[in-house]
């Protein structure tokens, strides 16, 4: 390559590093699938303390020898085109979820697209991703603490289910033998809302009761003591003693991302810590190798219409996608606000918050092929909680709601289904790894050398 040609290549590369591409994507619904609300797996009887839904009495608990497969609150890519979804604490509160097992399930959507597809969702084999007839032990992992790694007592330590308050007052119902024998974790122990897999294959769960980070092996077995976020205490925090809670219930690690190297977690609280500016949420960096939070932190500012976040996932090592919403639905009155924003940790505004760019308005997605068969070419996603976003590739996102089973009201006054969306972005996301500073320096150094040679050749 001639000096002038090499100079051109280097200049182009440096320019690509310093210019942020436009992000005004035109989102289109590329694929759609649905899982019916009453979808169950085998397990101990659940819902004995759960809420009921007057509009869907047929779906109301208890569920004898069954565990609901939904609602989904975190997603990872699985084998063979499947996805692995985290089930949250169960029935919404610590008190109502003592018999709800903390699990992840493998699912295989057959997306309805312009080219075909059934629009259905099946159970999948956890290891291979192959479709299965139903949800069973081959389709899931269950979180457990057989080696007593967690720093607090769990439901398996009791003979009777407790109601989740500070005194652990027991109910009259005996804890299922499988929970006690396997020291299985339930929704009275943790409210798991986010999950990532690190460079060693270990799973990390973001919880809302502490909020805590919990590390497990690939089978869901807890490997180490839970890690608290310094200075932040939810009401359910097992260690706060007389320290007042400064974070609301169910306002912990709703969002959590991981870098490409798999050694840094980025936790995003759902609620504002007491004393912080209104409508601001904390993002903190956690070093997996040292098992400690770093000094790096950022501020996420909610939109004027936003009240909560639903998930956060990485695009690259400094850009992330955040789901933001309010509580309005198609049936509740008010105007549903459900959007995806791209944030950039390298860009902080004058108010101290990270830069936000709207990526997708989930209430106004183009649907030219009417994939959900509702008679409209504009797709809306008006569910209360939308808690799963996954980057499939530079142009495609997976977005899935948490149906809060047996709750409802998203589209109708019945128990909500779980919908799986494939959203196409016209403007590509920058999913390439971020160059290391040393690489940038080397490139700039090479540019200087070539420039000098070109000048000498001209003289």
Q: What is the pLDDT of residues 98-119, one digit of tens each?
A: 999 999 999 999 999 999 999 9
Length of the chain: 459
Q: Which residues contact 121 (CB under 8 A, 6 or more apart)?
A: 33, 34, 35, 107, 108, 109, 110, 418, 420
CA count, 13 A, side-chain hemisphere, 72:
29
Q: What residues are paired with 83 via a beta bridge? A: 77, 107
DSSP assignment of 141-206 equals EE-B-TT--SSS--GGG-SEEE-SSTT--EEEEEPPHHHHHHTB-BTTT--EEEEEE-TTS-EEEE
Query: Tokens in use for 186?
Result: 């339930």
Integer Cα distance of 298 and 281 in angstroms: 9
In 3D space, the residue among 308, 245, 250 whose CA is nearest the CA of residue 275 turns out to be 245
CATH number of 22-429: 2.120.10
Summarised one tens digit per residue, pLDDT across range 28-80 is: 999 999 999 999 999 999 999 988 999 999 999 999 999 999 999 999 999 99
pTM of the model: 0.89
Residue 167 has a pLDDT of: 62
Specify whether the CB–CB gap between 78 and 195 falls below 8 A: no
Instruction: Provide the terminal-to-terminal Cα distance of the chain, rounded to the nearest Å.
Output: 20
Residues of the chain with pLDDT under 70: 1-25, 163-168, 433-459
Specify whether the CB–CB gap between 281 and 302 falls below 8 A: yes
Integer Cα distance of 270 and 281 in angstroms: 7
Specify whether the CB–CB gap between 311 and 389 falls below 8 A: yes
Specify whether the CB–CB gap between 179 and 157 falls below 8 A: no
427 DSSP 8-state letter = S
Integer Cα distance of 16 and 13 in angstroms: 5
Residue 433 has a pLDDT of: 58
Q: Which residues contact 274 (CB under 8 A, 6 or more apart)?
A: 246, 247
Residue 444 has a pLDDT of: 42
Q: What residues are paired with 101 via a beta bridge? A: 186
Can you tell me whether residue 124 is helix, strand or coil?
Answer: strand
Quick count: other Cβ atoms within 10 Å of Cβ 362?
A: 24
Integer Cα distance of 366 and 26 in angstroms: 8
Name the residue ranges covered by the structural domains of the chain. 22-429
Residue 170 has a pLDDT of: 77
């Amino acid at each position: 390559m001639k000096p002038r040609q090499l100079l051109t290549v280097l200049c182009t590369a440096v320019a690509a590093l310093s210019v942020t591409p436009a992000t005004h994507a035109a989102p289109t619904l590329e694929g759609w699938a649905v899982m019916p609300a009453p979808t169950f797996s085998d397990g101990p009887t659940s819902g004995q303390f759960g809420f009921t839904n007057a509009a869907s009495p047929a779906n109301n608990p208890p569920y004898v020898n069954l565990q609901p497969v939904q609602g989904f609150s975190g997603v990872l890519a699985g084998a063979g085109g499947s996805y692995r979804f985290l089930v949250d604490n169960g029935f919404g509160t610590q008190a109502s979820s003592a018999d709800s097992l903390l699990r992840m399930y493998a699912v295989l959507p057959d997306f309805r697209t312009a080219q075909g597809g059934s629009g259905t969702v099946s159970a999948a084999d956890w290891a291979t991703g192959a479709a299965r007839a139903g949800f069973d032990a081959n389709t899931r992992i269950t979180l457990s603490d057989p080696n007593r790694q967690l720093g607090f007592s769990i439901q398996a330590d009791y003979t009777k289910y407790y109601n989740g308050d500070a005194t652990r007052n027991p109910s009259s119902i005996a804890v299922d033998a499988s929970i006690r024998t396997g020291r299985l974790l339930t929704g009275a122990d943790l409210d798991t809302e986010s999950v990532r897999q690190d460079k060693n294959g270990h799973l990390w769960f973001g919880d809302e009761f502490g909020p805590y980070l919990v590390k497990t092996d690939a089978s869901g077995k807890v490997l180490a003591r839970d890690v608290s976020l310094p200075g932040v205490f939810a009401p359910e925090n097992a260690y706060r003693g007389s320290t007042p809670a400064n974070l609301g219930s169910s306002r912990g690690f709703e969002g959590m991302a991981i870098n490409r190297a798999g050694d840094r977690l980025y936790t995003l609280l759902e609620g504002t810590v007491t004393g912080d500016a209104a409508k601001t949420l904390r993002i903190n960096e956690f070093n997996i190798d040292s098992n400690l939070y770093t000094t790096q932190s950022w501020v996420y500012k909610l939109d004027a219409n936003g009240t909560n976040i639903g998930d956060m996932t990485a695009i690259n090592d400094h850009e992330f996608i955040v789901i933001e919403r309010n509580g309005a639905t198609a049936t509740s009155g008010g105007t549903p606000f459900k959007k995806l924003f791209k944030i950039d940790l390298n860009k902080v505004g004058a108010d101290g918050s990270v830069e936000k760019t709207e990526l997708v308005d989930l209430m106004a997605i183009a649907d030219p092929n009417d994939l959900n068969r509702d008679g409209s070419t504009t797709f809306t996603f008006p569910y209360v909680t939308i808690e799963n976003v996954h980057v499939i590739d530079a142009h495609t996102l997976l977005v899935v709601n948490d149906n809060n089973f047996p709750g409802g009201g998203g589209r109708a006054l019945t128990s909500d289904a779980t919908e799986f969306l494939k959203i196409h972005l016209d403007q590509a996301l920058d999913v390439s790894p971020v160059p290391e500073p040393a690489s940038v320096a080397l490139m700039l150094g090479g540019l200087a050398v070539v420039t000098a040679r070109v000048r000498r050749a001209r003289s």
